[in-house]
């Protein structure tokens, strides 16, 4: 992906971003469910093992396989729009930094700036989506959450929140989501472009990288960005787990940080990191691969014949 190639239409980047995001959600949601539950305060978990494998066994035994996919309809229903906006915003911010429109690769520091802006802007979409998803994922796992009070879909959760807190309630955690996502996306996009170029020299300008290159660069970029932002993600999860049907323990970001560290030690800020990294590699390998291949297909579809796409697909299968 040469991020600011002037020849790429806005529509193609938008569509490819949506397809990439959907691939990421489908591939990584079970691990996301485990990560969210691992991040909950220990006192709030009702006799649930803390390890990822123990939690999976407990979840399957008590709630069944479907529990691993709780809340997936919320991000899946909106992820096409979210990722389409994210990739289109990223491409646009890259172009803005190249006003002369020359076909040259953008320096990595400018890629990081575009990523930072992308992460900041997408929080407006991501905050309510993740709030609803987290509410569904933690049902029945926390003390004080009765089975009879369980909600059965994202629309019910969103309705419950707006009834009790108004539209503002859907944006609980907006600040910490911004703190998490802006720097994480700067690392995300810049490390992806760096790794692509290292694995396949000149591919940022000429393209033609293989599927293996896309999977590797996308996976490592996703994992690295999560290492950078993970403590903020723990705080975000705890803040967004509050609200209707759950205990209100924290008054804000600083209070949540202080209380969590005081009660559970500094290690609480890294709880569930292993699960998050495994998920990040899988999800982002899928996202970038689907995005790049979608762009190749959409670009070829505008040609008078399919030769361009067939050539790109053949190159993608080669190491």
317: in domain: no
The domain total for the chain is 1
Q: What is the pLDDT of residues 149-195, one digit of tens each?
A: 566 678 888 888 899 889 999 999 999 999 999 999 999 999 999 99
Domain membership of residue 319 (yes or no) is no
Most trustworthy range by pLDDT among 15-29, 45-59, 101-115, 189-203: 189-203
Is residue 225 included in any domain, yes or no?
A: yes
pLDDT, averaged across the chain: 82
N- to C-terminal Cα distance for the chain? 17
- The CATH number linked to 216 is 1.50.40.10
Please indicate, yes or no, if residue 23 is contained in any of the structural domains.
Answer: yes
- Rounded CA-CA distance 298/296 in Å is 6
Task: Dump pLDDT digits (tens) for 110-153.
Answer: 999 999 999 999 999 899 989 988 888 787 555 445 444 566 67
Structural domain including 208 reads 10-311
Whether residue 79 is contained in a domain is answered as: yes
Q: Is residue 102 in a domain?
A: yes
Share of the chain above pLDDT 70, in %: 81
Model confidence at 197: pLDDT above 70: yes
Residue 3 within a domain: no
Residues 203 and 173: beta-carbon distance below 8 Å? no
């Amino acid at each position: 992906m040469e991020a600011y190639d002037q020849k790429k239409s806005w529509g193609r980047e938008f569509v490819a971003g949506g397809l990439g995001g959907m691939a990421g959600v489908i591939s990584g949601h079970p691990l996301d469910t485990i990560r969210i539950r691992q991040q909950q305060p220990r006192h709030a978990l009702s006799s649930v093992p803390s390890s990822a494998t123990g939690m999976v066994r407990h979840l399957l035994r008590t709630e069944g396989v479907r529990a691993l996919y709780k809340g997936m309809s919320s991000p899946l229903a909106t992820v096409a729009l979210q990722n389409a906006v994210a990739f289109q915003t990223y491409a646009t911010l890259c172009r803005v930094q190249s006003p002369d429109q020359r076909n040259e690769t953008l320096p990595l520091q400018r890629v990081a700036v575009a990523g930072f802006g992308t992460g900041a802007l997408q929080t407006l979409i991501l905050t309510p989506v993740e709030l609803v998803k987290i509410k569904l994922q933690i049902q029945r796992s926390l003390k004080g959450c009765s089975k009879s009070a369980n909600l059965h879909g994202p629309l019910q959760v969103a309705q419950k929140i707006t009834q009790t807190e108004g539209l503002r309630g859907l944006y609980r955690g907006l600040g910490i989501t911004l703190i998490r996502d802006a720097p994480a996306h700067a690392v995300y996009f810049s490390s992806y472009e760096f790794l692509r170029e290292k694995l396949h020299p000149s591919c940022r300008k000429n393209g033609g990288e293989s599927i293996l290159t896309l999977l590797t660069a996308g996976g490592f970029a996703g994992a690295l960005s999560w290492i950078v932002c993970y403590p903020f993600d723990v705080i975000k999860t705890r803040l967004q787990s509050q609200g209707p049907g759950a205990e209100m323990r924290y008054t804000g970001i600083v209070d949540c940080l202080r209380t969590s560290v005081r009660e559970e030690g500094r290690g609480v800020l890294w709880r569930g990191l292993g699960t998050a990294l495994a998920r990040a590699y899988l999800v982002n390998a899928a996202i970038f691969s689907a995005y790049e291949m979608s762009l190749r297909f959409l670009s070829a579809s505008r040609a008078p014949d399919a030769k361009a796409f067939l050539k790109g697909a053949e190159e993608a299968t080669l190491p």
